[in-house]
Structure 1
Amino acid sequence: MSHCADGDPPVPADAGSDTGSDARPDIERVSRRDFEEVWHEQDPSVIPDLYHADYRGHGFPLLGTVSRTGYRRVSGLFLRAFPDIRFDIHRLDSATGRVETDWTFEATHSGWVGPLPPSGARISVDGWGRHRYEGDRVAETWLDLDWADLAGQLGRGYLAAAREKVGTLV
């Protein structure tokens, strides 16, 4: 999987450090807080503490680029749809001056998303993300996951639920 995003600018040699010292552990800590507090503890209210006021997030389906407020809304929708969501972080690395992560999220689609009822599907989707920092807050994110795979897994959940209700005709 390529970890380059279209429009992703080159990383300056001193990225991630505004004092000249190695700030990697601090930015890694902030990125981990996103997974732990926003997702696992289901607390999107911490987003302003972690994300810059001018934050831009790339790679969100249907929305394109989102603001900090947009990220808070998207996370709220996901948490309602997948209240048991868990991220397994395979790699979290700040050697480039940005925090890059590879992860798998697993969840059960047990909540409504707009007009879509829960499918009951147990899903598992691999993805990656990159956080660019300004100071101690995330200023920009690039996100990539297989949205088509996610939709397919949800569809299979709906199909299984329909088969359970009407038998093997579906």
Structure 2
Amino acid sequence: MIDTDRTAAITAVLDSLADAWARGDGDAYGAHFTEDATYITFVGTRYQGRDDIAGSHNTLFAKFLKDTKLAHEVLDVRFLGADAAVVTTRGDTYKGEHPKKLTKVQTYTFVRQDGHWLVAAFHNTQRKPLMEAISFRFAPETKPKAWPAQLLDSVS
């Protein structure tokens, strides 16, 4: 059974994160995280806490990520009780037009605090479709059975 109200609330947070990113507003971006959130980038950098996440993103938006946007597609929302959820997305940063492929996979842990959904943990991973294809070719039993088909489209 799909919980449409909670799913919509979480999706709204993801959309608001993308909006803050597009504005280059690290403080607004960081406000979507818990005070003690953990944030892992696709290169393995670990940020701890809302202030660390906001501050680093303010710098990133002023330099390496200046004028970029954040694309995302929700793959799965799984609730772990009334006030926690694990969310899997595909996403990417881009300039100009929306990217043709979303090359990263993200896992979010959401918690509801004082009626608001916040990100308690975030992990971003760069997909390696060629490595997946090789693995699946030589060990087909490693191909995930329950993984969303849209992630496997380039390696099937």
TM-score (norm. length: structure 2): 0.58
Let me know the Cα RMSD of the aligned residues. 2.8
Number of positions where the alignment pairs a residue of Structure 1 with one of Structure 2: 110
Paired with 1:23 and 1:125, the residues of 2 have a C-alpha distance of: 25
TM-score (norm. length: structure 1): 0.54
Tell me: CA distance 1:42–1:62, structure 2 relative to 1, closer, same or farther (3 Å): same
Moved over 3 A (4+): 59-63
Query: 5+ unaligned residues in a row in structure 2: which ranges?
Result: 80-85, 128-156
Tell me: CA distance 1:93–1:41, structure 2 relative to 1, closer, same or farther (3 Å): same
Query: 5+ unaligned residues in a row in structure 1: which ranges?
Result: 1-16, 109-123, 147-170
- The answer on 1:141 being equivalent to 2:118 is no
Tell me: CA distance 1:48–1:125, structure 2 relative to 1, closer, same or farther (3 Å): closer
Structure with the greater relative contact order (CA < 8 A, sep ≥ 6): 1 or 2?
Answer: 1
- The answer on 1:129 being equivalent to 2:101 is no
Residue 94 of structure 1: CA displacement? 4.2
Q: Where do 1:1-170 residues align within 5 Å?
A: 22-37=5-20, 39-59=21-41, 61=43, 63-80=45-62, 81-89=64-72, 91-97=73-79, 98-107=86-95, 126-135=103-112, 136-145=117-126
- Give identity over the alignment, percent: 12
Q: Please tell me whether the aligned partners of residues 68 and 94 of structure 2 are also in contact (alpha carbons under 8 angstroms).
A: yes
Q: Please tell me whether the aligned partners of residues 24 and 94 of structure 1 are also in contact (alpha carbons under 8 angstroms).
A: no
